[in-house]
Structure 1
Amino acid sequence: MSSFSNKFNGYTMTQLNEILEDDDKLSKMVQEMDEMQEVQQSKERTLVNNRTLAEQNLTLQPRLERLKEQLTKRYGSLQESFESYQLRKSTLDHRSGNTSLDTLLALLQAEGAKIEEETENMADSFLDGDVTLDPFIDVYQSKRKLAHLRRVK
């Protein structure tokens, strides 16, 4: 900016008015200024850089399109897998009745206690002489086996 003001220091007021009224002369002077030439060169460099970047981007476009297509396919596959998972999970939940492990444990313990009581009642019946030995042994062994299995589970 200092070269601009230095350039006009030597002009008289009438010369300055003439320049101000003559648009072509003023435009020519502005175009010849160092600052304006630097701005013009910077603009040209920026345009060249932008063009180079645009060309590079255009060469990458087919790869981008191919990768987009792969991503779309994989996303579709993921959706199918997720839907299959949801279906299997709902089937499993339906089959298991959504019972928790604590509930299953409580049920097994209750059934185990019930069989224990039945076997004790059978033993009492046998000791009282209400049941003979052969049927008692067959039934008693099977129920005790079931009671032990439930306890182990």
Structure 2
Amino acid sequence: MESDYSTFMDSAMAMGWSRISNMPLNELNAWIEDPSQMDAFIQELPQVKTLLSEKEMLIAQNRNAAEFNLNLGNPSLADAKESVLKAYEEAKKWKLQFEEKLASLSNLPDSAAEQRSLETTHALLQAAAAEAEDESDRTAQELLNGNISANDFVEAYRPKRVLAHMRKIKCEKLAELLATSDMVQHHRSNP
């Protein structure tokens, strides 16, 4: 590549020198007074024109490749963004439902029976969350083992992960409620 460039430059220099050596002195003096004339002379050399045209072609090719790469990645990025937004909206919906149910639970009078019921519910919810987590892990393992296609994996895995996350969040919120309830009961019994 460098030898091609050297050959190319040698050819350009030889052509330039041959044309300059045949120029009258007054034209050379005009170049000294106005360097833009020398620039124009250089730009008119066939080798320079070839280089400039190759440069423009490479720029256009790079621009096309960049646009292609952006467009190639863009649909999957848009799909992923849409998927995240849907999951976020669903999580907000579940959170609202949970908060409503939590509010209705907190409006109920505290009693030992209700406390045990909440603890039982918490234990069951923990088990259900672990089961949902295991189910999503099994689906991921099936993909890794090659038992299911990527499309089937996406369709099966996403709802399982959402369910596992929702159960985990509900479990954590219920644990907070139980901890708060325990503190209130402890405070009531020890004034």
Q: TM-score, normalised by structure 1?
A: 0.43
